[in-house]
């Protein structure tokens, strides 16, 4: 059978559009090995009809995060127009949580949750005959609505899944880069998370389970992937949860002489409690950590059920600074912020000397507790705006003022003024013999900052004027 898997075009609202490899599709493709499978990444290659015409698929599958729902639906609709006989399916995070949003005449089947097993069964049945209604975790779209099959959470072993079919995206590899131009590769070492943060969809998607792969399997895949990329990204929201596994990873990198730059996502309690592990990770190639700080206030962290104290966040950031480990700190901007909250947040960034802050607007993603509590009062329901830089909830400030404050956070954080103040401080420290002159790992070099400033001007204006294009309900 000829199967075409599609990553939809990027949502134009995203401020920092990253092109990482579509790992989810590479996994799904691996599940259908034995068939003629291709991946079309429409973030890079836009001509859908040409691809359909050349490949003549029997089955098309599209993936979608919440912010991709509209783009994914448009792709499926085009496929139906191209040839109504092509079977169309959709999977991924949004389809898992709100399958009803894909109950459309141009969709045949919706996959929920990990599809490594269900997609395999599906293509076998399609190719050989049988009843797809027997396959768990899918919804069949019919005229009378959705018919769900049995829900069966993945209870298997991640190590038994076939490796992602990366050869199907090798022609796109040079496009898969991070914001500073590194060619990247993604690797899964765990799925899910044992925590229950109110704003995070990660644990819901995995039915609350936290699954890990064996360290040996991760290192084997890492070694193979590392050969063709500059930076390996561990694709999970909480990679260092199990410190025993992390130590084994370090040991195995050492034993096998593997040295490649990599990045991971980590919680601050883990960082604060295990500085020795971080030293070891840095030695074997840790390039930077993406860390969810979320808030500088205990009351907010409690509300978010982050199970971490503001003090722990501070301790973790200090440790990372001491160890000179680069950090990408993510901070939440609550739609309920007053001007004073914005000011306090920026003061925190200054106080903690955070060079590369990322500010995400608190967004009730479907599936999260935050969504359950707030979906009735959403100010924007169009999923194109669930991009973490729009406020889909009502704001305390006027919307115009909210976006001014929000844009200004970025403007101030990445300003020349901040750069020169820091330069002056380090120079005077150096002259007084206090510190060595080398910049910390996450300090943005002047030329990059200058480039960012030019590039960011357009983004700054875009954010400042966001309120003008919002489809408020
Ligand atoms: C790596 C990553 C990224 C990468 C992109 C990776 C990619 N593949 O495109 C980058 C850094 C670019 C990124 C960006 C964003 N991300 Co992100 N990201 C992740 C992360 C950490 C891992 C994703 C991953 O590769 N998982 C591994 C794969 C194998 O698992 P999977 O995606 O679940 O796929 C399985 C099933 O869903 C299903 N499936 C998936 N697609 C399909 C399709 C078909 C046809 C079928 C049959 C089955 C199927 O089968 C797959 C195999 O089992 C997740 C966290 C997480 N726990 O998943 C967040 C996550 C996916 N990101 C999220 C978000 C919000 C974003 C951004 C909007 C953030 C932002 N403001 O910029 C953007 C959106 C970018 C975009 N539209 O392309 C949310 C999405 C929630 C949601 N409901 O949409 C997550 C879950 C984080 C979270 N904690 O909430 N992200
Ligand atoms: S935010 Fe991080 S710690 Fe919280 S549930 Fe999501 S992945 Fe886990």
- pLDDT per position as a tens digit, 11-44: 999 987 778 999 999 999 999 999 999 999 999 9
Return the residue whose CA atom lies nearest to atom 30 of ligand 1: 24
235 in contact with ligand 1, CB cutoff 6 A:
yes
Residues 177-333, CATH architecture: Alpha-Beta Barrel (3.20)
What is the CA(237)–ligand 2 centre distance, in A? 6
Counting atoms of ligand 1 from 1, which one is nearest the CA of 265?
A: 21
Q: What is the pLDDT of the chain when averaged over all its residues? A: 94
Provide the 8-state DSSP code for 35. Answer: B
**Mean pLDDT for the stretch of residues 317-334:** 96
Pair of tokens at residue 19: 């092109």
Assess contact for 284 and 258: CB atoms under 8 A.
Answer: yes
197 in contact with ligand 1, CB cutoff 6 A:
no
% of the chain with per-residue pLDDT over 70: 99
Assess contact for 406 and 343: CB atoms under 8 A.
Answer: no
Tell me: the pLDDT tens digits for 413-430? 999 999 888 888 888 888
What residues contact residue 163 under an 8 Å CB cut-off, 6+ apart? 30, 221
d(CA 108, CA 74): 14
What does the pLDDT read at residue 244? Answer: 95
**DSSP-based three-state secondary structure for 419:** helix
20 in contact with ligand 1, CB cutoff 6 A:
yes
> Which ligand has an atom closest to residue 367 CA?
1
Provide the 8-state DSSP code for 22. Answer: -
Assess contact for 344 and 296: CB atoms under 8 A.
Answer: yes
What does the pLDDT read at residue 441? Answer: 78
What is the CA(292)–ligand 2 centre distance, in A? 8
Counting atoms of ligand 2 from 1, which one is nearest the CA of 194?
A: 8
What is the CA(349)–ligand 2 centre distance, in A? 22
Tell me: the pLDDT tens digits for 394-406? 999 999 999 999 9
Q: Where are the domains of the chain?
A: 2-148, 177-333, 371-473
> Which ligand has an atom closest to residue 208 CA?
2
Q: Which residues of 249-260 are buried (b: 16+ CB within 10 A; e: fewer)?
A: bbebbeeeebeb
- Sheet with 2-7: list strands edge to edge: 36-41, 2-7, 59-63, 87-91, 109-111, 138-142, 145-148
What does the pLDDT read at residue 429? Answer: 80
Pair of tokens at residue 37: 């499978």
155-159, 273-277, 279-283, 387-391: lowest mean pLDDT where? 155-159
| The CA-based dihedral angle spanning residues 97, 116, 202, 395, taken in that order and rounded to the nearest 10 degrees | -40
Whether residue 223 has pLDDT greater than 80: yes
Ligand 2 pocket, Cβ-based, cut-off 6 angstroms: 193, 195, 197, 200, 202-203, 237-238, 267, 292
Q: Which CATH superfamily is domain 2-148 in?
A: Cobalamin-binding domain (3.40.50.280)
| Burial of residue 85 (number of CB atoms within 10 Å: 0-12, 13-18, 19+) | exposed
Q: Ligand 1, residues 201, 234, 386, 391: which to mutate, most atoms within 8 A of Cβ?
A: 201
Counting atoms of ligand 1 from 1, which one is nearest the CA of 90?
A: 45
What does the pLDDT read at residue 17? Answer: 75
Q: pLDDT band at 433, cuts 50/70/90?
A: confident
| Alpha-helical runs (H) found in 284-338 | 298-303, 310-322
242 in contact with ligand 1, CB cutoff 6 A:
no
- Residue 5 C-alpha from the chain's centroid: 20
Residue 435 or residue 136, greater confidence:
136
Provide the 8-state DSSP code for 174. Answer: G
> Which ligand has an atom closest to residue 192 CA?
1
114 in contact with ligand 1, CB cutoff 6 A:
yes
What is the CA(247)–ligand 1 centre distance, in A? 26
Count, residues in the chain: 473
Return the residue whose CA atom lies nearest to atom 16 of ligand 1: 65
26 in contact with ligand 1, CB cutoff 6 A:
no
What does the pLDDT read at residue 201? Answer: 87
Give the other-Cβ count within 10 Å of 408's Cβ. Answer: 15
- Of 80, 13, 12, 114, residue with least CA distance to 363: 13
What does the pLDDT read at residue 435? Answer: 66
Ramachandran category for residue 367: left, alpha or beta (phi over 0 → left; psi -120 to 50 → alpha)? left
Counting atoms of ligand 1 from 1, which one is nearest the CA of 27?
A: 52
Assess contact for 357 and 331: CB atoms under 8 A.
Answer: yes
Whether residue 263 has pLDDT greater than 80: yes
């Amino acid at each position: 059978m000829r199967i075409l898997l599609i990553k939809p075009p990027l949502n134009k609202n995203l401020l920092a559009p990253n092109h990482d490899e579509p790992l989810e599709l590479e996994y799904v493709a691996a599940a259908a090995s034995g068939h003629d499978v291709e991946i079309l990444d429409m973030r890079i290659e836009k001509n859908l009809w040409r691809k359909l015409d050349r490949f003549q698929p029997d089955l098309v599958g599209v993936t979608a995060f919440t912010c991709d729902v509209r783009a994914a639906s448009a792709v499926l609709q085009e496929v139906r127009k191209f040839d109504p006989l092509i079977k169309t399916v959709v999977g991924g995070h949004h389809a898992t949580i709100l399958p009803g949003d894909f109950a459309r005449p141009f969709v045949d089947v919706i996959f929920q949750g990990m599809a490594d097993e269900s997609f395999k069964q599906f293509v076998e049945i399609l190719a050989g005959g049988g009843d797809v209604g027997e396959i768990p975790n899918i919804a069949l779209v019919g005229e009378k609505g959705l018919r769900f099959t049995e829900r069966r959470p993945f209870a298997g072993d991640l190590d038994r899944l076939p490796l992602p079919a990366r050869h199907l995206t090798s022609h796109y590899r040079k496009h898969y880069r991070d914001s500073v131009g590194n060619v990247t590769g993604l690797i899964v070492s765990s799925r899910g998370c044992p925590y229950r943060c109110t704003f995070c969809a990660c644990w819901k998607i995995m039915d609350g389970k936290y699954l890990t792969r064996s360290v040996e399997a991760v290192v084997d895949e890492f070694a193979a992937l590392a050969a063709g990329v500059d930076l390996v990204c561990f694709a999970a929201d909480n990679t260092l949860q199990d410190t025993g596994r992390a130590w084994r990873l370090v040991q195995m990198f050492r034993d096998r002489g593997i040295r490649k730059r990599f990045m991971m996502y980590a919680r601050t309690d883990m960082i604060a409690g295990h500085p020795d592990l971080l030293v070891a990770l840095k030695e074997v190639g840790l390039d930077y950590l993406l860390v969810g700080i979320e808030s500088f206030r205990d009351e907010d962290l409690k509300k978010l059920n982050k199970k971490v104290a503001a003090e722990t966040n501070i301790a973790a950031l200090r440790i990372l600074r001491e160890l000179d480990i680069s950090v990408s700190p993510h901070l939440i901007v609550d739609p309920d912020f007053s001007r004073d909250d914005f000011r306090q947040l920026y003061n925190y960034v200054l106080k903690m000397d955070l060079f590369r802050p990322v500010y995400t607007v608190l967004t009730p993603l479907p599936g999260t507790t935050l969504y359950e509590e707030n979906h009735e009062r959403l100010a924007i329901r169009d999923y194109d705006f669930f991009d973490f830089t729009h406020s889909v909830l009502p704001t305390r400030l006027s919307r115009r003022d909210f976006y001014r404050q929000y844009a200004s956070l970025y403007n101030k954080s990445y300003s020349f003024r901040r750069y020169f103040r820091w330069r002056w401080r380090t120079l005077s420290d150096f002259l007084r013999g206090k510190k060595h002159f080398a910049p910390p790992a996450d300090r943005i070099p002047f030329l990059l900052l200058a480039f960012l400033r030019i590039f960011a001007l357009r983004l700054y204006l875009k954010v400042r004027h966001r309120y003008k294009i919002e489809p408020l309900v």
